[in-house]
Amino acid sequence: MLLAALWAAWPAEPPSAGAWAAVLTLGIACTGLAYLLYFRLIDRVGPARAIAVTFLVPMFGIAFGALFLGEAIGWRMIAGSAVVLLGTALATGLLRRR
């Protein structure tokens, strides 16, 4: 479906071999390895607990932004992270309601 857009938006100078290698490396090594690990996690802990991993992605974004980009962490981010952690603990059964 994107083939038509590819021809319409192709750059005047074609991407370098290094750029193609970077795209292939990201696609195969990063995404492919992540899928293999995720499906292994589904097999070991079940789909309901494995999907909980995706709830933590925003917190890793906040942490990596602060660590690598020097972004400030505000109290709202911390409060939101606490809500996400509490919800994840409830969803995975780490905390049980009485």
Q: How many domains does the chain have?
A: 1
User: pLDDT (tens digit, 9 = 90+) per residue, 3-43?
Assistant: 888 888 888 888 899 999 999 999 898 889 989 999 999 99
pTM: 0.62
Containing structural domain, residue 30 = 19-92
Select from 81, 34, 35, 31 the least CA-distant residue to 58.
Answer: 81
Is 4 within a domain? no
Is 13 within a domain? no
Is 5 within a domain? no
User: pLDDT (tens digit, 9 = 90+) per residue, 41-50?
Assistant: 999 999 988 8
Is 62 within a domain? yes
26-40 burial: b if 16+ Cβ within 10 Å, else e: eeeeeeeeeeeeeee
